Copies of this chain bind each other. A is one copy, B any other.
Amino acid sequence: MGDLQTDQGESLELTFVPAAAFEAVRAAAAPASAKARAFAALARVNTLSMIAGAWSGHIGTSFSSLDVMSWLFLNELRDLDKGPAACDIFFSSKGHDAPALYAVLIGMGLLPRELLYRLRRIGGLPGHPHIETPYVQANTGSLGMGISKAKGMALANRLAGMPRRIFVLTGDGELQEGQLWESLASAVRHKLGEIVVVVDHNKIQSDTWVHDVSDLGDVEAKFRAFGWHVSRCDGHDMDGLERTFRSLDAVPDRPKVVIADTVKGRGVDFMEGPALKPGDLYGYHSGAPSESSYLAGLAQLSAQAREAYGALGLGPVPTEITVRNPRREPRQTDNLVGAYEKVLVAEGERRPRLVALDADLIKDCGLISFSRRFPDRFFECGIAEQDMVSMAGGMARRGALPVVHSFACFLAARPNEQIYNQCSEHSKVVYVGSLAGLLPGGPGHSHQSVRDISALAAVPHLLMAEPTTEAEVAPLYAALLDANESAYLRLVSVKWPMPFGYPANHRVAVGTGWVAREGKDIVVIGYGPWMMANAFQAAEDLQARTGLSVQLVVLPWLNRVDSGWLRTAIGSRHLVVTLDNHYVHGGQGEMVAAAAATLGLEPAVRVVSIGVESLPECGTNDEVMAHHRLVVAGLVARFEAACAPLVR
């Protein structure tokens, strides 16, 4: 990991509200609305502290939905004591409000309170909902699937003779996803009155105001036009929520939607949506609060908790203090997305036909500079990947050079068919998928993109590549822009200290790579920053311990390998190890192995493929690499095992 420094937040004390306080609220003799207010106020404290403790999480959407979730769990969901398979069902379709859900579940006594300290840790609470957590009813995090899932649950419940009410929370940015509208019709047709959808209408999506990204128009009219019963209320007013949900009881045979008007970041004034200045991007969608933001936010939330708790006559709010785990940060890192941001602007200057498209990830995809430099050539498409890709296809047919951006996990999968369709037109579009690979480990498997190579590799006229170092971004991107076919640039977003550099004067050629470390015994072929950095260190360790020397080769091309180059890269070695920051199946390694088999080299060359082999775990980066045996020590052991036949 190179030269480490420790973050200054090491000694931050986190304040949590213990289980007893929630129990006291639930047991209090008071109106339901007053109890729900107090419950939500306590849960907000825990939510903020969980996210601060995890160094990562979604504050804004957790706070906007917390009052609704608290009301539902305290008053609407029946038979929670019968367990998750037999009770009424709640899940969040947007999913990034998971910290709020966990805080509520823990407050309800439905999850062990120790998990407060295990957000985004392995074996703890994943960054997005996963059904292995009790009372989490659906895996979400990729948007727009919630109503479809609820319909399936309702129909299967009916077939089994066990109808249950099903509450689905959606975001408002999520309403930009086509699947949401696709899912509405048959709920009406099947008269699924057991489904209640609550739209957490906080008006701000990842980057900024929904109406600036892709205006929703008249949401109520839209749902009504699709045949749904529509209610609307203040999503932070417990009395209003109570009146609204009671009014739904009179509508037994139609699916229902409640538009809950909420405030993103509700509870901490400087995190609240309306505090957003014109032209600024919202700062509390994801990520941890700074130390000072945490303390200032905590002060406000604690005051609210005191007031609401006190109103129940329960006295002062008990608290528990925990010291946050330190986070190690390397001093010098390669930042591929940062490099891409600069390169995109430079290519924009050079190529007047270049236009950039985004799906509500302008910050995370490195698009701020381009959008400011070329506002007329920047198209914010909202959370609508299929639409974005087909739009890009249309643009390309009319002479533009569109570059389409999203997270790799979404870009490769959601518009998978649209990408194929575009490529079938022989037009040119460049796709850029960031957040690629297993890391960061915090968001969980909905965001850990370890299947994107496989999902797209067979698309004809689509060239796929991934840079390993900052310096490789510019030449590789230029090659993709120049190629006579569409292209996919795969970008790892985690910053990483690199123990080797991109060779000066390397000439980019499709299907060929470059040598990161010389060695005579085995050749290791792979791509991407942390994987190759770990492999480099593993090679050093292996040589020090066993004398075996590793030739480490970077092959940036993900779906092309030049057989002549491969023959040379293997040379007279008998063992090839491939490394994939991706599933082994369908990854670069499988392609390299197949190409090696096609060469029919004599004497025989054996190929060992290393990569991800199971659903990605959620946790810190170190935890996740260790779990998947891709840390340095894991690689050393696996290289050594692969070499065993050589040293027999």
Contact = CB atoms under 8 A, between A and B. Distances in A.
Contacts of A137: 397
A391 B217 contact: no
Given A148-B391, A416-B417, A604-B604, A454 B451 contact: no
Contacts of A585: 457-458, 559, 591
A420 interface: yes
Nearest to A613: B460
A150 interface: yes
Nearest to A159: B400
Interface string A8-32: 0000000000000000000000000
Given A387-B148, A455-B455, A598-B593, A155 B395 contact: yes
Interface residues of A, number: 118
B178 A180 contact: yes
A179 interface: yes
Interface string A227-259: 100000000000000000000000000000000
A355 B152 CA distance: 11
Contacts of A149: 390-391, 393-394, 397
Given A177-B178, A424-B445, A600-B606, 6 more contacts: A149-B390, A152-B390, A160-B399, A593-B597, A600-B605, A604-B604
A435 interface: no
A227 to B, nearest CB: 5
A483 to B, nearest CB: 17
Given A151-B394, A159-B355, A615-B460, A185 B178 contact: no
B598 A608 contact: yes
A145 B390 contact: yes
Nearest to A352: B159
Q: Which 10 residue pairs across A and B have the least CB separation, nearest first? A: A152-B394, A600-B606, A178-B182, A178-B178, A148-B390, A181-B181, A413-B417, A593-B594, A454-B458, A152-B391
Nearest to A131: B425
A538 interface: no
Q: Which residue, A131, A155, A398, has most C-beta atoms of chain B within 10 A?
A: A398
A448 to B, nearest CB: 10
A137 to B, nearest CB: 7
A599 B410 CA distance: 35
Interface stretch (A375-383, A466-474, A520-528): A375-383
A386 interface: yes
Contacts of A392: 152
A386 B593 contact: no
A505 to B, nearest CB: 31
A418 B145 contact: yes
A14 to B, nearest CB: 30
Contacts of A131: 397, 425-426
A391 B146 CA distance: 9
Contacts of A478: none
Interface in A568-592: 576, 582-583, 585-587, 589-591
Interface string A76-114: 000000000000000000000000000000000000000
A422 B398 CA distance: 38
A602 interface: yes
Contact of A214 (B139, B189, B455): B189
A285 B601 CA distance: 53
Interface stretch (A42-50, A56-64, A218-226, A508-516): A218-226
A609 interface: yes
Contact of A609 (B176, B598, B599, B601): B598
Contacts of A182: 176-178, 181, 384, 386-387
A583 to B, nearest CB: 4
A377 B159 contact: yes
Contacts of A589: 594
B382 A185 contact: yes
B614 A460 contact: yes
A74 interface: no
Contacts of A265: none
A284 to B, nearest CB: 25
17 contacts: A138-B397, A152-B394, A152-B398, A153-B398, A156-B394, A157-B398, A181-B182, A182-B384, A182-B387, A185-B382, A186-B382, A186-B391, A217-B226, A416-B455, A458-B583, A593-B598, A600-B645
Contact of A224 (B225, B416, B458): B225
Interface string A424-436: 1110000000000
A142 interface: yes
B384 A139 contact: no
Given A226-B222, A608-B598, A156 B586 contact: no
Contacts of A179: 178, 386-387, 390, 418
Contacts of A138: 393-394, 397, 425
Q: Which residue, A177, A225, A559, has most C-beta atoms of chain B within 10 A?
A: A225
